[in-house]
Amino acid sequence: MIDNRKIESERFLPDKDIENCGLFGVMNTSGTRFGGEMAINAIKNMKVRGNGLGGGFAIYGLYPQYKDYYALHVMYENKNDEAKKNAEQFLHENFYVVYDEEIPTNPEVDVFCPPLVWRYFITPHKKEINGVSEDEYVISRVMDMNKYMQDVYVFSSGKDMGVFKGVGFPEEIADYFMLDKLYEGHIWTVHSRFPTNTPGWWGGAHPFSILDWTVVHNGEISSYGTNRRFLELHNFYCTLYTDTEVMAYAVDLLMRRQKLPIEVVSKIFAPPMWNSIKYMKEREKQLYTTLRMVYAPLLMNGPFTVVIANQEEMIGLTDRIRLRPITAGAKDDFVFLSSEEGAIRYVCPDLELAWTPPGGEPVVARLNSKDHLKSLNKSV
């Protein structure tokens, strides 16, 4: 990510991936952990939204016994033992490795070229290293591994969370990693991928993750080039050429680094029209005008729906003119976000509320709050 690579001409940049997808997310806002049945069944219900070239899950509240340690899910392609040795040497040099093991898989599930996937629970040697925070230190080491190590790719690196993904329909990935049998969490997000121009690659499936932030995304952003260039100004260099990567870096920049609340960030990604801003109260008008002026290059133009999550929050957002679907649902402490309402009702037949948030209006499910209901009275 942090890279001073200068390209000779943008002409040589690879083409962007084009993909359309299905998304689902479920959270228990009281923090109670639950199994994967709902997420798996819901995404199975939206089978036509994927084509079997990528599926993945992000689970929060995954490793309570190791919640103070960064959990690295690392994939070794071609089951490359040499790569594993190098990576482990690198990890031992840079971190304390508290515990590590192979992520158990079900050998009876037939998936396409499965890599070896291992998990490590690690912590940096010191709280702060040369003025760099723990988080930044972990990020830069993880990026180094992704970039420079052959056959090594880190799926996720947050605390008390993990990403499981691969080539196949999401339910196949779930079976392969035995998600429904082995794990519980208070947030599950899932993605089913329908790429149109790339072959399947285990690392290319969603969710994308930076520390404990994950992004699952459906859409093709027409502003990709503008967004990418702006992120480069902030030293985020895209290497995967997907819209989701751009979205993930933008979230990292605005939410983690600049600590802007999602309510503001959503107005950067999907700002109100000038015609609406014109009629706002003076203070709001000034805020939105300034946001649009300064963050114009981060407007995500064209269709998208995104589900962003971290340990505390699960957020759903669709583009400013709602060109991709999203439905929110709630029952007791459960909040659902889905590409299709049918999938929510399939896994929660006695749903209390279901609503469609308007374009640019985030649905924010937070631990121990009812914030997700804020978008209810604005629903379409």
Partner 1 sequence: MYSHLLPEFVVERREDRCIRCRACERQCPNGVHVYDSDLDTMFSLEENCVGCQRCAVICPTNALSVRHHPAEYRKNSSWTRDRFQNLKKQAETGGVVLTGSGNDKSYRIYWDHLVLNASQVTNPSIDPLREPMELKTFIGRKPDTLKINMEDGEPRVESELHPNLELETPIVFSAMSYGAISYRAYKSLARAAKESGTLFNTGEGGLPAEMRAEFGSNAVVQCASGRFGVDKDYLNSAAMLEIKIGQGAKPGIGGHLPGEKVAEHIAVTRMIPRGTDALSPAPQHDIYSIEDLSMLIYALKEATNYEKPVSVKVAAVHNVAAIASGIVRAGADIVAIDGLRGGTGAAPLATRDNVGIPMELALAAVDKRLRDEGIRNKCSILAASGIRCSSDVIKAIALGADAVYIGTAALVAMGCTLCQKCYTGKCAWGICTQDPYLVKRLNPEISTQRLVNLLSGWSHEIKEMLGGMGINAVESLRGNREHLRGIGLQEWELNTLGVKGAGE
Q: Which residues are catalytic?
A: 21
Chain residues 262-301 in contact with partner 1, contact rule CB under 8 A: 263-264, 273-275, 283, 286-287, 290-297, 299, 301
User: In whole angstroms, what is the distance from residue 377 CA to residue 380 CA?
Assistant: 9
Which is nearer to partner 1, 44 or 320 (by Cβ)? Answer: 320
Rule CB under 8 A: say whether 223 interacts with partner 1: yes
Question: How wide is the angle at C-alpha 320 spanned by C-alphas 216 and 13, nearest 5°?
Answer: 55
Q: List, in order, residues 6 or more apart from 133 with CB less than 8 Å away.
A: none
Rule CB under 8 A: say whether 236 interacts with partner 1: no
Rule CB under 8 A: say whether 9 interacts with partner 1: yes
User: In whole angstroms, what is the distance from residue 44 CA to residue 24 CA?
Assistant: 10
Selected from 44, 49, 165, 320, the binder of partner 1 by CB under 8 A is: 320
Task: Indicate the DSSP class of residue 112.
Answer: S
Rule CB under 8 A: say whether 356 interacts with partner 1: no
Give the phi and the psi of residue 45 in degrees, each rounded to 5.
-65, -20
Contact in structure between 330 and 373 (CB atoms under 8 Å): yes
Radius of gyration of the chain, Cα coordinates, nearest whole angstrom: 20
Among 35-43, 113-121, 123-131, 223-231, the segment contacting partner 1 (CB under 8 A):
223-231
Selected from 2, 113, 182, 321, the binder of partner 1 by CB under 8 A is: 321
Site string for partner 1, 72-101 (x = CB under 8 A): ------------------------------
Chain residues 245-264 in contact with partner 1, contact rule CB under 8 A: 258, 260-261, 263-264
Number of residues that bind partner 1 (CB under 8 A): 47
Which is nearer to partner 1, 43 or 255 (by Cβ)? Answer: 255
Q: Which long-range contacts does 368-374 make (Cβ < 8 Å, 24+ apart)?
A: 368/29, 368/30, 368/31, 369/29, 370/29, 372/29, 372/328, 372/330, 372/335, 373/330
Q: How many residues does the chain have?
A: 380
Which is nearer to partner 1, 289 or 379 (by Cβ)? Answer: 289
| Number of other CB atoms surrounding residue 356 within 10 Å | 16
Selected from 18, 109, 280, 354, the binder of partner 1 by CB under 8 A is: 18
**Residues of this chain that bind partner 1 (CB under 8 A):** 6, 8-11, 16, 18, 20, 196, 219-220, 222-226, 229-230, 232-234, 258, 260-261, 263-264, 273-275, 283, 286-287, 290-297, 299, 301-303, 320-321, 323
